[in-house]
Amino acid sequence: MAAVPQLLLLLLCSYHALIASADVQSHKILATSSQKPQAVCSEPTVSPPSTSGATVALNHRQGPCSPVVSSEKKPTLGELLRRDQLRAGYVQRKFSNDKHRANSGLQSSEVTVPTTLGSSLDTLEYVITVELGSPAVKQTMIIDTGSDVSWVHSSSGSPFDPAKSSTYVPLSCGAPACTQLGGEGNGCAKNGQCQYMVMYGDGSNTTGGYGSDKLALTASETVDRFQFGSSQVEEGFRDKTDGLMGLGGDTPSLVSQTAATYGKAFSYCLPPTTSSSGFLTLGAPSGGTSGFATTGMLRSQQTRTFYGALLQGISVGGKLVGVSPSVFSAGSVMDSGTIITRLPPTAYKAFSSAFKEGMKQYPPAPARGFLDTCFDFDGQDNVTIPSVALVFDGGAVVDLDANGIIYGSCLAFTATDDDGTIGIIGNVQQRTLEVLYDVGKSVLGFRANAC
């Protein structure tokens, strides 16, 4: 046998041992009702993080737990997938366009995909509620690990008006925070105030003054002089939230602004369904990474926004799919804003085939958009599905929740254009996990059953 196949066998054997030691079950039970919209917010089953930082509730913006009141019709699965393709396509095009540059991919050294998104805010799903200004005004804001600049609506009729806040300070055009906006800076107003602009791939945009004010995350945890944009001119927004909170890795983000207090670390738990709650926490766990499966955080040199990781394998039913770890060498972005996980085609083909082998008791169903591994669950209250675990560099085995495997009766994964295209770990796969981003220590962590 050739040396390369022998090496592959050794690697596969070692990862099989890791999966066995992680006690990954062969099957999971999925309640089909969890795949359907619910009218009532269920009691949270949150296992709160042990941290001295700030923790706020996190909800799906279109579910019954959301503080966002909207009379608009909820998007169909087809609409959600179309928007998701825009988001994922933008991230992947950015890396593809930078292939001619040295060190354009995700790397373990300090390295960056840009802060403007590939679609409208309709691709972003999770919200938190904070207070801004003096007197404090409640703001329900979308969170996004793919954005750095935070902003709130402040045009006529919006809850927040900087002129009515005694602690609001406009930032001058010469202020370091203004120059650090980079491509999202928008020149200087006649009064000398710094201006920002964020443009989205669908043509929507927001622009206004850039300033600072008091941000209350909780009753006891506040951020003085939090820098953000006050959106005064907007185009193309139908969203009912009050703005966006940037959790990216570049200088303007909330994570970077609060680094001195919270150590440039944060975590969140996305709830298993739209009718339950999770949390967002600023600060690393007080007990370190005990209880977390951890892997090295990867960054890209072109932008300092996104966070990445290196997959090494994937298991189905407790058995590793026979794909070389080198197939995943392009790396994967860990993204709160992309719904569906993207895998290299070689890995996805083998993974999908293995999953279908474990689903022979259910009739196949037609593809739904780009989701091509679908099943007919009609008449079923509960279905038995093979477990799925992601294996990351360093041996971290992340066993996915049943609601992190199936989306709309389909396997919640799809393929990238080719094996050299950057992958994405979407938010469906992150459900019920506390996902830790310790930027200061370049570590990603995963704690099971956190919400």
User: How many angstroms from the chain centroid is the CA of residue 279?
Assistant: 13
373 in helix, strand or coil?
Answer: coil
Rg (CA), the chain: 22
In 358-422, alpha helices (H): none
Cis peptide before 325 (omega within 30 of 0): no
CB-CB neighbours of 361 under 10 Å: 9
Q: Is 438 a catalytic residue?
A: no
How far apart are alpha carbons 336 and 247 in whole angstroms? Answer: 10
Closest CA to 219 of 130, 289, 153: 130
Q: Is 335 a catalytic residue?
A: yes
Rounded distance between C-alpha atoms, residue 383 and residue 361, angstroms: 10
Cβ–Cβ < 8 Å for 343, 371: no
Phi, psi of 45 (to 5 degrees): -115, 60
Tokens read off for 101: 């540059």
List beta partners, residue 213: 226
DSSP code at position 393 = T
Concatenating the DSSP letter of every residue in 297-358 gives -BEESS-SS-EEE-EEEEEETTEE-S--GGGGTT-EEE-SS--SEEE-HHHHHHHHHHHHHT
In our burial notation (b when 16+ CB lie closer than 10 A, e otherwise), range 268-285 reads bbbbbbbbbbbbbbbbbb
Q: Which two tokens stand for residue 133?
A: 């200004």
Select which of 335, 399, 401, 438 is catalytic: 335
The one catalytic residue in 144, 213, 250, 438 is 144
Reply yes or no: is the peptide bond before residue 135 cis, omega within 30 of 0. yes
Other CB atoms within a 10 A radius of the CB of residue 322 amount to 11
What backbone phi and psi angles, to 5 degrees, belong to 322?
-75, 70
- Kindly list the catalytic residues: 144, 335
